[in-house]
Structure 1
């Protein structure tokens, strides 16, 4: 989750760019850079490490240009070095980028064959070269950018600065956020309103697929079909606010929509997408581990539950999964050759922290999966694995959950490779499958209109069941938890095979049953459970893919069709529709979505 800013100013913009980057540093802080036009020529300044390193360089190399773009990076493709820092540039254009270009390998090979020379290991540089080739072919900057966007696969936000074009910045977004700031004779572009707060309180949020041409006179916005379109500006609290919902009604739905960007960032940190390999986990030798214990609470526990399937199937590593409040009092005997993984968004969850201390007292090594690097759990663990989700304001966790899944998936692949249970070809296949997740999540978000309509009826019920098999079972549990948390509707998640062992007694014409059933190796078994529900008049809401929809032959109230995808990645993508279903149901019921009753973001007491 990198940070972007662009300024067309009336005075030298370099210090203003750095000021904006300071407000975006929570989005990435392993390198930073700016590009400005000095007398019409592109001039870059980049630095590895914290933003203060860039500031030091800027003091020694004053820039006077009035047009520029800036970037603070969290590394995905390529190590966090100066050569991989943004902006990336050619002789004609500089670009900053947030997100992942999934098809960069093919594009890079194509351009290298055409004689283009690359100077970094990043996916971003292909964008600069593609735009440059368009300019060489006689296209205008706008035309070159629009032609380039059509060739890119993935989720991204981009900002471009052009050689010799002192009054032009072009931006575009697909999945990752981007906002326009309006000034008087000045214009601004940023990843969010936090970056733009010092400069303006009039913000226009670009919609997905939009691109924008900025000049000092204003902004011209184009939709995904390159048709000029108007977007309504909003007034923010300027530089005084701490967090901003953007153009969303609640923080929760904003954070749901951030997931393609967040998960792409997290996967990029733990997977080498260039080499199609999982990065080894420092200080953990999985070849010497005989058993894994995973401990967490709430949504984080369900992330660990999914990971149990991944570790056992990919790494052939036995896994015990425990709710932390039970684990801490169960006095489980733990092997000194085992590893404990504790998961906590805040890193301060009391029961999880107590479980960590118990496991450590038993001589186990501890790996902590957290969102807050400075938290107590992060400090006390032997190995800290950040989820890199950024601030999550909504109490009901969404992007932190899928970021936790992303970390756990990457670690499971690394464990499988270290233990010799998968070979290099299998590792590469898994890594490539997970690299597609941001795009698949982006497609899942397109179902929001259908889900919102469905939620009108769901808001009228008092009870709901969720069913799933395999890794879809923990997602069923998570879906039921989300509905309970924010709509206050009683919901239960079950393994689909358990239906006839009790829960089937609840089925009648009033009972909605959400079935999470990608077309996988257990799909036919899940279909038989759906038939049991249908025979008793239950109202089935089926979440599946095209093959599943065609094969189910069930009269569902609603079928949500997701793209086809490898079975391993389904938990991350299928999480989105269950989150959206809970969110829109709660909105129709008029509950406090971001701060549901009786709940806190971090549970720091027992």
Structure 2
């Protein structure tokens, strides 16, 4: 989740870029860099480490010029180093980038065959080199950038500058946010409005697939098809920008939309430099001899653990027990010799989860802490710390932290599978490639937001709602029900669909919406049978499923939203987006306090 800023200014660019990057440093602090144009000539400075290292470098080696781009990095490809820091340059073009390019290896092979060479391990250098190759074919800067963007597959935010064009910035977004800022004879771009707060109060948010051409006097925006479009320009108060909800009404909405970038960031932290295997601190645990993994968590983290159980047992073939933290230590459960206990907590301060960690340590367990806050108590006390890299989450109802937890647990399952000899390097590489598609697929699901909003308006009028799923969708049914309860105060329950006839079907009537999470997987036929039992009793089924699922049940269900088709193992990521949007828009329709729902706190630090 890197930070991007670009300026065409009326004053020296470097101090502006540095100040803007400081406001974005929470997005990444592995390295930082900037490039400016002086007399139309590109120059660049980069430094490993926090932004202060770049600031010190600029004191000794200043950059001139009034146009430039800057970047603060959290590594997604390649280790933190000056060589891997942004901006990346190839000949006459320099680029900064947030996100992950899925097809960068394919593009890189084509460019190497064409005679181009590379200095870094990053996917971003491939973007710069591809654009340089387009320029070498005789395309002008705008056409070269457009042709480059058209070749990219993944989730990204980009900004280009070009030798000889001190009046030009080109930027694009797909799955990662970008905001434009408008001044008098100057224009700006940033990955967060907070980066532009001191520069302008007139901003415009690019929509999914947009790309824009900025000059000193003009901004032209194109949609994903290349058509010229206009986007609303807002005049906002400085304090509104600093609050940094972006174009969203609530932090929760912003955090749902951030998820492709968050998963790209986690991907970079959990995958080796050559992008072939999982690499993390848990590598040193003796997984081959571990008889069992115990996962302890509360609330949303507990449901993330249920997704992990499927991954762990199916991929790594290790038995997994999941425990509710508030019950765990009071049962005084026996724990096996050489056993591993992992506690999961966004804050790292959850009182029950911390107590569970200490109980496991008292029983001689190896302990892992999966947390978002790396300075937390759990992070300090666990034997191994595994950060989820979600960034600050303000909304009480967890969204991006949930999917980041699921991602890290999935990646850990792949690592454990290799350490236990259940998969080879080729299979591990296959799982890495599968996980690399998640940011793009989440972005495609976010584009379906208007359909979820329409469904949510119907849900908001109900007093009870049921969520049904099978396999990996069962934990998502639990999570969907929790989200709806948390922020709408509508009573909701999640069930494994096969259990519906063992009691819950008594709740079915013509007034109760039933949200079915229905990817077309090996369990779909069973789920369809369960749903027909419900509909035969006047149940109102809202089908959330892919095209195959929709085709089979389209004529029978009450509502449906067609989801992207995905491998069943990664379906939880996109169905998480679906249930988050349903809960969010139902809460907005009801007028509840979305970010601070009644009776709840972000971190539960008492038992």
Q: Work out whether the TM-score is over 0.5.
A: yes
Worse-matched range after superposition: 77-86 or 279-288: 279-288
- Matched residue, 1:544: 545
- Matched residue, 1:256: 256
1:477 maps to 2:478: yes
- Matched residue, 1:316: 317
- Matched residue, 1:460: 461
- Matched residue, 2:90: 90
Q: Deviations over 1:315-341 (max 9, x none)?
A: 111111011111131211222411111
- C-alpha displacement of 1:298: 0.7
CA distance in 1, matches of 2:253, 2:15: 34
- C-alpha displacement of 1:242: 4.5
1:49 maps to 2:53: no
Residues matched between the structures, number? 606
- Matched residue, 1:371: 372
CA distance in 1, matches of 2:482, 2:239: 36
- Matched residue, 1:292: 293
Q: Deviations over 1:356-387 (max 9, x none)?
A: 11111112122111111111111111111111
- C-alpha displacement of 1:244: 1.3
CA distance in 1, matches of 2:484, 2:188: 39
Indicate conservation of the 8 Å contact 2:308/2:410, yes or no.
Answer: yes
- Matched residue, 2:524: 523
CA distance in 2, matches of 1:37, 1:289: 57
Q: Deviations over 1:81-131 (max 9, x none)?
A: 111110000111000000011111111111111111111111111111121
351 and 175 in structure 1: CA distance in 2 versus 1, 3 angstrom threshold: same
Q: Deviations over 1:229-267 (max 9, x none)?
A: 222222334378643111112111111111111112112
CA distance in 2, matches of 1:80, 1:267: 14
Indicate conservation of the 8 Å contact 1:198/1:239, yes or no.
Answer: no
Q: What is the TM-score of this pair, normalised by structure 2?
A: 0.97
Indicate conservation of the 8 Å contact 1:451/1:581, yes or no.
Answer: yes
341 and 105 in structure 1: CA distance in 2 versus 1, 3 angstrom threshold: same
CA distance in 1, matches of 2:25, 2:289: 38
Indicate conservation of the 8 Å contact 2:31/2:72, yes or no.
Answer: yes
SS at match of 1:225: coil
- Matched residue, 2:192: 192
CA distance in 1, matches of 2:140, 2:335: 65
CA distance in 2, matches of 1:235, 1:274: 45
Matches within 5 A, 1:158-177: 158-177=158-177
Q: What is the TM-score of this pair, normalised by structure 1?
A: 0.97
Indicate conservation of the 8 Å contact 2:77/2:275, yes or no.
Answer: no
SS at match of 1:540: strand
CA distance in 2, matches of 1:148, 1:536: 54
CA distance in 2, matches of 1:268, 1:549: 35
- Matched residue, 1:603: 604
1:69 maps to 2:72: no
Indicate conservation of the 8 Å contact 1:273/1:432, yes or no.
Answer: no
- Matched residue, 1:435: 436
SS at match of 2:501: helix
Indicate conservation of the 8 Å contact 2:293/2:340, yes or no.
Answer: yes
1:153 maps to 2:153: yes
Q: Deviations over 1:381-411 (max 9, x none)?
A: 1111111111111111111100111110101
- C-alpha displacement of 1:60: 1.0
1:577 maps to 2:575: no
- C-alpha displacement of 1:284: 2.1
CA distance in 2, matches of 1:532, 1:509: 13
- Give 5+ residue unaligned stretches, structure 1: none
- C-alpha displacement of 1:551: 3.3
- Matched residue, 1:211: 211
- Give 5+ residue unaligned stretches, structure 2: none
- C-alpha displacement of 1:186: 2.2
- Matched residue, 2:363: 362
SS at match of 2:291: coil
CA distance in 2, matches of 1:242, 1:352: 33
SS at match of 1:150: helix
1:5 maps to 2:5: yes
